[in-house]
Amino acid sequence: MKELMIGNEALARGLFEGGCRVVSAYPGTPSTEITEYIATYDGIYSEWAPNEKVALEVAFGASLAGARAACAMKHVGLNVAADPLFTLSYTGVTGGLVLCVADDPAMHSSQNEQDSRHYAVAAKVPLLEPADSAECYRFAKEAFALSERFDTPVLLRTCTRIAHSQSLVETGERAEVPLRPYVKNPQKYVMVPGNAKQRHPVVEARMAALAEYAEDCPYNRVERGGSEVGIITAGTCYQYVKEALGETVSVLKLGLIHPLPTKLIRDFAASVRRLVVVEELDGIIEQHCRNLGLSVEGKSLFSPIGEYSQATVRRVFGLPAPASLSVDTPLPVRPPVMCAGCPHRGMFYLLSKLGATVIGDIGCYTLGSQAPLSALDATLCMGASISGLHGFLHADPQVARKTACVIGDSTFMHSGMTGLANIAYNGSAATVIILDNSITGMTGHQHNPTTGYNIKGDPAGKIDLEALCRAMGIRRVRVVDPYQLKETEAVLREELAADEPSVVIARRPCVLLKSVSPKPALRVDPGVCTGCRRCMKIGCPAISMRGDKPKQHSSIDGTLCVGCEVCVQLCAFGAIGKEAQA
Amino acid sequence: MTNVNLMIVGVGGQGSLLASKLLGHLLVREGYDVKVSEVHGMSQRGGSVVTYVRCGTQVCSPLVTEGEADFLVAFEALEGARWVPYLKPGGRLIVSTQQIDPMPVVVGAAAYPDTVLQQLRDRGLSVDALDALSLAERAGSARAANMVLMGRLAHHFHLPAERWLDAMAEVVKPKFLQMNRQAFLSGYHYPDQH
């Protein structure tokens, strides 16, 4: 029976049926669910690794030992895993190895919209790109055989609209693939220069063989339609082209994006009068066509920015847009916000109050940059808060008493530790604030090495953050509860003033965790409230101003409030109290 | 048949996930080609969220674009207004009258557009507005507002209510089924407005 699945579930199903034995990953939107679905299958070892580099290296080890293995990450995660990837290209594999990478055009939940296809070109490995869930399933299942046949890791690239769209999949049975026996082969696997020099020609020969394979592989196909326009496309763009243009054009639908075929593309180009490439982000297929000397259009028509849709394709080809209704009233935007009761709120309020310059990191707490908290000065990539702060202080040591960084528990384990090692080693009067909400929050609550549980929710090793920081040589390690503003402020003032490195761990679990039960909602006494708006400074979605000016008072939405009492501590008039008291 | 395009919009955390699950399941049961698309992650944190559902003989794009939606089901009034340009002429807006202030309104930088649904009616749009939250509370839980709205959608949709209820029994946990059925039916039988 056909089932509706998101691309990520279909990928997981395909990996499972393809005989995968080991999966390691770090969560990242829109790739996270691949590994979450994998964890529901018996017969596969799965784990959350501290970061993507570790995940790929775990998959490498499993492959070396003869197992079919996979890892999953978002596009920026592949930057972290790039180091093992480039040399894995040289070693090749024993058991098939598949790296699933999900791009995020339009940046629904990312800090950039880089195009992962460049990695396949640069690392000289094949890349498959499915166009719906059925292809996610099939490509993932078959990618292991491709990996083993050509002795190479295989990249399987999706984007948000494939990873998070559901379409029909007909599943099958899991293939029980025995371990390929491990045979010691240092010439292939010990990448010292002497051996690597022998491997590079192997890589080039492999890519030549794959380019040959691309000419008539089962992943590329021509769909003959009108002969005026021929479109080369792949992935989700294929669906937009079919939706907008149907049979009026001929389509070369590519599934193997690297290496690209030569003869197939030349023949297709010769069969149409006008050749257009439709691909989101960069013009990689288009450039290949240019290298073949073909007359082709692509990025002159379609933007390298954001994602497309059938409307984009219609517009470019001059088809009329459907009629639609508009609203005259300007509508206020609805950006994502930190949840009511979010433990990060109190910390950002205090950092803002102290006028601190704050280098931020990647996670829910990036929302601390928004008004009215406006607490962040920079956010770059995973881990950059700590190393960035160190650099900032060495450029201008005078600002140490007014400068700090914030990083989450999971992000600290991912790549913050090395930055802290640098501070402990080279020294700076940095104040590093670890926002420990006991979970990887933004991606939807995945465990990490500090939570004490593994991917299946079973008890696991638990890294003690205080002991870890002390072991690195940080003498000043403080733990605060960010719900307690007075105490937290006192600690922040002391640590910002200290002339040596310090770590402040703000510990309070995410309010969305099932283990956290909300306290009774708070209530504003409108008779006592003076309308001073002090409680509005924390940007809590549960608090708003009610009544007509000038007699406005604040009000708390009882359905949203979880009783964290941060606002209570701000009110100078005692107007906010528990429901029962008021 | 020609494809039917639906959108479910609201505020992150309002329960549109179960609604799209029911809808997707129903349409697969009916033998249609189906695509459902939504964005997870950052947008869940109280932001504006949208789910696209498409069905027919063959569905290519997972997205619905401006002027293409047959039905727009909104869990919140402002979100309903925001996505109205996606409705095709003759399309129908089914909207809960619940209002949730977005942050610009909370901090006083913008006003909640109270009259927007009336504006849309005045311009001839079919607006089916109902207090889904109260109807759900009467059925047993405010969390069942999603099923009230699905019931209302079913009222206008080309499949009989029984098929919806059969599909519901397969996606809702048994202990919540009765309450969800009741919520669904209260939306389904909600009196027509003229």
Q: What is the dihedral of CA A338, A341, A347, A349, to 10 degrees?
A: 70
Classify residue A222 as exposed, middle or buried by CB count within 10 Å of its CB (0-12, 13-18, 19+): middle
Q: Closest partner residue to B43 among A161, A167, A336, by Cβ?
A: A336
Residue-level pLDDT at B44: 60
For A63-90, the DSSP string reads: HHTT--EEEEEEHHHHHHTHHHHHHHHH
Flag if A168 and B34 touch (Cβ within 8 Å). Answer: yes
Q: Closest partner residue to A239 among B62, B102, B116, by Cβ?
A: B62
Flag if A444 and B41 touch (Cβ within 8 Å). Answer: yes
Q: Which of A536, A528, A521 is nearest to A567 (CA)?
A: A536
Q: Is the dihedral of CA B103, B108, B114, B116 positive or negative?
A: negative
Which residue of B lies nearest to A2 if distances are taken between CA atoms?
A: B28
Q: Which of A156, A284, A260, A255 is nearest to A208 (CA)?
A: A260
pLDDT, tens digit (0-9, with 9 covering 90-100), for A549-574: 788 999 998 888 999 999 999 999 99
- A437 touching B (Cβ < 8 Å): no
Contact B48, B13 (CB under 8 A): no
Range of weakest confidence among A407-416, B81-90, B114-123? B114-123
Residue-level pLDDT at B42: 56
Mean pLDDT of chain A: 96
Element (H, E) at A196: helix A193-214
Q: Who wins on pLDDT, B161 or B104?
A: B161
Flag if A108 and B43 touch (Cβ within 8 Å). Answer: yes
pLDDT, tens digit (0-9, with 9 covering 90-100), for A534-547: 999 999 999 998 88
A208-213 mean pLDDT: 98
Residues in chain A within 8 Å Cβ distance of B115:
329
- A164 touching B (Cβ < 8 Å): yes
pLDDT band, residue A582 (cuts 50/70/90)? very low
Contacts of A466 (CB under 8 A, 6+ apart): A477, A479, A505
Whether residue A581 has pLDDT greater than 50: no
Within 10 A of A300 (CB to CB), how many other CB atoms are there?
A: 9
Q: Which of residues 101-120 of A touch B (CB under 8 A)?
A: 108-109
Within 10 A of A108 (CB to CB), how many other CB atoms are there?
A: 18
Element (H, E) at A289: helix A284-291
Whether residue B194 has pLDDT greater than 70: no
The angle formed by the CA atoms of residues A356, A361 and A365, to the nearest 5 degrees, is 80
ipTM above 0.85, yes or no: yes
Chain A nearest CA to B97, separation (Å): 16
Contact A479, A471 (CB under 8 A): no
pLDDT, tens digit (0-9, with 9 covering 90-100), for A16-32: 999 999 999 999 999 99
Whether residue A381 has pLDDT greater than 50: yes
pLDDT, tens digit (0-9, with 9 covering 90-100), for A161-191: 999 999 999 999 999 999 999 999 999 999 9
pLDDT band, residue B123 (cuts 50/70/90)? confident
Chain A nearest CA to B140, separation (Å): 16
Residues in chain A within 8 Å Cβ distance of B40:
29-30, 32-33, 109, 164, 444
- A544 touching B (Cβ < 8 Å): yes
Q: Is the dihedral of CA A371, A375, A376, A382 positive or negative?
A: negative
Flag if B47 and A334 touch (Cβ within 8 Å). Answer: yes
Which residue of B lies nearest to A441 if distances are taken between CA atoms?
A: B41
Residues in chain A within 8 Å Cβ distance of B48:
333-334
Residues in chain B within 8 Å Cβ distance of A336:
12, 42-47
Q: Closest partner residue to B24 among A4, A444, A559, by Cβ?
A: A4
Flag if A543 and B106 touch (Cβ within 8 Å). Answer: yes
pLDDT, tens digit (0-9, with 9 covering 90-100), for B14-61: 888 899 999 999 999 999 999 999 876 555 667 888 999 999 999 999
pLDDT, tens digit (0-9, with 9 covering 90-100), for A63-96: 999 999 999 999 999 999 999 999 999 999 999 9
- A2 touching B (Cβ < 8 Å): yes
Which residue of A lies nearest to B86 if distances are taken between CA atoms?
A: A324
Cα end-to-end span (Å), chain A = 58
List of domains in chain B: 4-188 (3.40.920.10)
Flag if A332 and B107 touch (Cβ within 8 Å). Answer: no
Q: Is the dihedral of CA A332, A337, A340, A344 positive or negative?
A: negative
Flag if A165 and B36 touch (Cβ within 8 Å). Answer: yes
Contact A255, A219 (CB under 8 A): yes
Which residue of A lies nearest to B119 if distances are taken between CA atoms?
A: A327
Flag if B88 and A327 touch (Cβ within 8 Å). Answer: no
pLDDT, tens digit (0-9, with 9 covering 90-100), for A269-320: 999 999 999 999 999 999 999 999 999 999 999 999 999 999 999 999 999 9
> Distance (Å, rounded) from C-alpha A387 to C-alpha A511?
29
Classify residue B1 as exposed, middle or buried by CB count within 10 Å of its CB (0-12, 13-18, 19+): exposed
pLDDT, tens digit (0-9, with 9 covering 90-100), for A411-432: 999 999 999 999 999 999 999 9
pTM: 0.96
Which residue of A lies nearest to B70 if distances are taken between CA atoms?
A: A324
